Amino acid sequence: MATVGKTAGEKALADLPSGAVRSFEADVSGDVVRPSDPKYERVRQVWNGMIDRYPAVVARCAGVADVVASVTFAREHDLPFAVRSGGHNVAGTAVCDGGLVVDLSTMRSVRVDPDRRTVRVEGGATLGDVDRETQLFGLATALGAVSETGVAGLTLNGGYGHLSRQYGLALDNLRSVDVVTADGQVHTASADRNADLFWGIRGGGGSLGIVTSFEFDCHEVGPEVYAFFAWFHGDDTAAAMERCLEWAADAPREAGVLAFTGYVPDLEEFPEDSWGDPALAMLGTYRGDPADGDAVFRPLRESATPLADFSGPMDYVDVQSMLDEDYPDGLRYYWKSVYLTEVTDEVVDIMVRYTESAPSALSTIDLWCLGGAVEDVPADATAFYHREKPYMLNFEANWGDPADDDANVAWGRAGIAEASELAVASGSYGNFPGLNEDPAKQRFGDNYERMVDLKTEYDPENLFGSSGSVAPRPGGD
């Protein structure tokens, strides 16, 4: 059969025995989408518009049995393999060329047990799906800060968000998971069952199997919280950052803040004479009495004269979705991170200089103020390692024109490379991984060898290798 002009997916599908493909389609109760299917163009696309890959088959799973069938089919036919939940991993790990995509996006059930204060979440659910259900009972679990993000990818790599300083990472709130491993077996993993697998799932980034459901602890949150969102002119960055760091050192755990540099958007909510100027913004929440929010964040608000201040009491679900429109499907993204033990003058200088040189006015440089409950957990208690670091610097390159890909990726890489040379910098975060070009050991630190042991045990053929995680030892040694 001629293959000239065919995509990687079409070529790979043509190489598969037609009878095996038909048998697989019969085994799966959800949709099995081939390159010739009208749905194919839509289902192969992921959130990051820079990712353009052509799988041979997309299995839109309806349940765990479909996931098992997909794993078995990929293993038996030596197919590249990718798993999609929300599809928001910036490196594009939710899709692969010439392989099988296990698409969990229709598996979005969320079930709350208000008496036990737990929530059971299927592997394709988004943060918004979970918040909508848990807030019916005045509950929430610690997740991220953009409601359209998939729960699975966020949690398996860590999961920072508004609740992190009070309740830890998303993975710290896990009670149990159901996971399909590379041999097609279904396991329940928790502190009491398959504890080694549970250790590796929490931070392993999907490298040990496909989690089809998560059980989280919930906490009393909302329905109303205080949101702090103020913008300052870029000329005030140094002074405002100094006050922000002073505040973060003594802030109550019920409060947290993310500071970022970028450009004032051309929106009527901002003074017109500031449009397009460099800016520093601070986004935070306080989960105590909303009436106390003004007092809690007053030192930040008074650090300089705000260009705009959108702060005030807000429903928790609205806080969780307020950034959604800034990260639409199809925009192009390159995000890369490094942890910091201290925010020095050199760090602030990097933020200012690289903001001024950013190829895209949509890009930001984010400083996450961490600590609190995240660092309460020992570094070796889960696969997630970098707990004691009080800050994380993240370069978010966001742009729209494919012609600008090289310039924006180069900007993000150069900024993180310069920051990484500082004595206060080390490690990286799995949810802001660039394109997974850096060694996995940067993520796992002293937990790396144990992760390699688990990978060798549970996935010796590296079926789940597209996640950019650790590789098994050769020959299963």
> pLDDT tens digits, residue range 126-161?
999 999 999 999 999 999 999 999 999 999 999 999
> pLDDT tens digits, residue range 295-310?
999 999 999 999 999 9
pLDDT, average across residues 317-332 = 95
Say how many Å lie between the first and final Cα of the chain, rounded.
Answer: 41
H helix runs in 93-182, sequence order: 127-134, 151-156, 164-167
> β-pairing, 81-84 with 100-103?
parallel
CB within 8 Å of 168: residues ≥ 6 apart: 142, 372, 373, 374, 376, 377
pLDDT at residue 3, rounded to an integer: 56
Cis check: omega of the bond before 223, within 30 degrees of 0: yes
pLDDT at 91 > cutoff 90: yes
Architecture of domain 110-220: 2-Layer Sandwich (3.30)
Q: At what angle do helices 345-356 and 237-250 cross, to 10 degrees?
A: 130
Dist. CA 260–CA 233, nearest whole Å: 12
pLDDT at residue 9, rounded to an integer: 95
Q: DSSP letters along 176-243, please?
A: EEEEE-TTS-EEEEESSSSHHHHHHHTTSTTSS-EEEEEEEE-EE--SEEEEEEEEEEGGGHHHHHHH
Per the CB < 8 A criterion, the answer to whether 238 and 254 are in contact is: no
pLDDT at residue 476, rounded to an integer: 61
pLDDT at residue 237, rounded to an integer: 96
- Locate CATH 3.40.462.20 in the chain: 225-426
pLDDT at residue 466, rounded to an integer: 74
Per the CB < 8 A criterion, the answer to whether 290 and 224 are in contact is: yes
CATH topology of domain 8-103: 3.30.43
- CATH top class, domain 225-426: alpha beta
pLDDT at 99 > cutoff 70: yes
pLDDT at residue 4, rounded to an integer: 64
> pLDDT tens digits, residue range 308-319?
999 999 999 999
pLDDT at residue 469, rounded to an integer: 77
Structure tokens at 349: 């200088």
pLDDT at 338 > cutoff 80: yes
- Locate CATH 3.30.465.10 in the chain: 110-220
> pLDDT tens digits, residue range 397-409?
999 999 999 999 9
**Closest CA relative to residue 159, chosen from 368, 448, 342:** 368
**Closest CA relative to residue 63, chosen from 219, 221, 180:** 180
pLDDT, average across residues 38-65 = 97
Q: What DSSP designation does 276 have?
A: T
Largest CA distance in the chain: 71
pLDDT at residue 221, rounded to an integer: 96
pLDDT at 110 > cutoff 70: yes
Structure tokens at 272: 């017109």
pLDDT at 477 > cutoff 70: no
Per the CB < 8 A criterion, the answer to whether 289 and 296 are in contact is: no
CB within 8 Å of 128: residues ≥ 6 apart: 147, 148, 317, 320, 321
> β-pairing, 100-103 with 57-60?
parallel
**Closest CA relative to residue 360, chosen from 315, 329, 395, 336:** 395
pLDDT at 1 > cutoff 60: no
- The per-residue pLDDT of the chain, averaged, comes to 95
